[in-house]
Structure 1
């Protein structure tokens, strides 16, 4: 039996396929079969509307566009998410107010509408504003991230990408979108062109969309670093990310008026072996600062991939390890830090993300270490050499 409530919640007249197609908004122009049933349109009636010459079209299995002609990019996005999410009919009755284009909403706002799914890959990068990504209208297939237990197949404009654990989604223009790191990894997985991969990774770093270490971790989890053109791009990415972080470190010392340090030096025991290099050293206070550009360990909101183990990597791309458990296991990185601290040298580790997001706080950390030098026992004498 037809209901007498329209999609916008206004009482008017019994709904019909004709009245539905005149409703405004993409959430009324693109509907799933359960949503249509909620408004009194049976499967047979929907199929009749999609016959040749009919006013509707079936864009994906169980998803209908209530007009003729090519669907818009927004309609294709909505249809793909409806196909992958399959929201229950009872959740389809209420249609939320549409957010303004480009406004990032709360990360949980759209999940009930689309289930536990999100856009990823090139379509997600276009929504994130990447100029190196093709515009949405040019993306033939929209990648949508779903739990690995979902039994779905890629079809039409929808390409299914599965994950053991989904990352936290961002809401962009009312659409759940994967974080930049995950979207980049899923996009790179389908790009054989070295130039396209390099452009995307470069824009991610230069544009401040994500830190190189976080991106390298996602590429490692996706097992993409065994591909030569991806590994080459990562080499450049790490070098560029390191350069950007060093520039922020120079700005930190200058802008917060820290004492003039020695830059990029190697520490060595007199007549003994090298203790390793540091980015900044204050010899009088025996305080060193080291940039930590390795990938961060997995935390909340970072989705893991199918399978187990890390990617096979070329040696040149191995400057960043996939996680930091190696510190506990006695890596060369951890051994250097512990050795310096046993000699009385305070080592302050700063990450590129902290330098970017909280420079004043990081300057306070360094200043505190310098001031605390007066209360510490004198450090061992070390030779300081340029590197």
Structure 2
């Protein structure tokens, strides 16, 4: 299957060059195949091949894999950054999926790739927050307190949430975690925060960018159900709500 820059062009990346200007076409093949690069065709070997997608009748690597294979050949930080951001902004793939593919390709040891990933994650976070705002207003949910820190009256910090409805004690948290170094520690911190909030009677609704993108109405229904059933639950402990 076609991968790398040629595949990104076929996927519709505006930041990728036209096929006519490429002097190299990367083709992904199983590691055991005895094939050699020839002319403009460059063989890229893989232990396991992803499921290809068909574009204009050609087998093409998924956007995440094509992106990783393209980035592996690049040294220009600006170009890498633009392609990674376009992957998310253009709806080609989720930021977490991109980082996972770059990790598997062992590209996160390159400084210019790490810098681009930081920009990618910020972009993915901003897009997810925009979808969350859109969900609340499009489906006419009550206005929450946005991006707040929750604390006990004595000052103990409970953690930040992306949206909070104080009267119903319902919190929404975007999960934009990615599989990077230290992820286990971040997961433990996330789990402790959720456990502490739920122990105080606060309902925590966990959403991911992928869920928001795929089923905004369904996520709105989940939040609405949590708000409506608040009267059936024991009153939550009082917490202080502060901007973060």
TM-score normalised by structure 1 residue count? 0.60
Aligned residue number for residue 100 of structure 1: none
The structural deviation recorded for 1:124 is 0.3
Output the CA distance in 2 between the equivalents of 1:154 and 1:270.
67
Aligned residue number for residue 333 of structure 1: 190
The structural deviation recorded for 1:165 is 2.1
1:196-235 counterparts in 2 under 5 A? Answer: 196-235=79-118
1:269 corresponds to which of 152, 155, 158:
152
The structural deviation recorded for 1:272 is 4.2
Output the CA distance in 2 between the equivalents of 1:178 and 1:157.
18
The structural deviation recorded for 1:355 is 1.3
Aligned residue number for residue 302 of structure 1: none
Aligned residue number for residue 77 of structure 2: 194
1:108-147 counterparts in 2 under 5 A? Answer: 118-147=1-30
Q: Does 1:349 align with 2:206?
A: yes
The structural deviation recorded for 1:335 is 1.4
1:42-53 counterparts in 2 under 5 A? Answer: none
Aligned residue number for residue 12 of structure 1: none
Aligned residue number for residue 257 of structure 1: 140
SS at match of 1:226: coil
Which structure shows the bigger proportion of residues in strand conformation?
2
Output the CA distance in 2 between the equivalents of 1:282 and 1:289.
9
SS at match of 1:214: helix
Output the CA distance in 2 between the equivalents of 1:223 and 1:369.
41
The structural deviation recorded for 1:144 is 1.3
Q: Does 1:362 align with 2:219?
A: yes
Output the CA distance in 1 between the equivalents of 2:226 and 2:32.
50
Output the CA distance in 2 between the equivalents of 1:223 and 1:270.
46
TM-score normalised by structure 2 residue count? 0.94
The structural deviation recorded for 1:126 is 0.8
Q: Does 1:247 align with 2:130?
A: yes
Q: Does 1:384 align with 2:241?
A: yes
SS at match of 1:243: helix
1:301-312 counterparts in 2 under 5 A? Answer: none
Unpaired runs of 5+ in structure 2?
A: none
The structural deviation recorded for 1:294 is 2.0
Output the CA distance in 1 between the equivalents of 2:207 and 2:236.
22
Residues 366 and 240 (structure 1), Cα distance of their counterparts in 2 relative to 1, 3 Å cut: same
Considering only CA atoms, is the larger Rg found in Structure 1 or Structure 2? 1
SS at match of 1:372: helix
The structural deviation recorded for 1:251 is 0.9
The structural deviation recorded for 1:186 is 0.6
The structural deviation recorded for 1:353 is 1.7
Output the CA distance in 2 between the equivalents of 1:379 and 1:161.
56
Deviation string 1:16-68 (CA, Å, 9 cap, x unpaired) is xxxxxxxxxxxxxxxxxxxxxxxxxxxxxxxxxxxxxxxxxxxxxxxxxxxxx
Aligned residue number for residue 159 of structure 1: 42
Output the CA distance in 2 between the equivalents of 1:211 and 1:145.
22
Q: Over the residues paired in the alignment, what is the CA RMSD in angstroms?
A: 1.8
The structural deviation recorded for 1:192 is 0.7
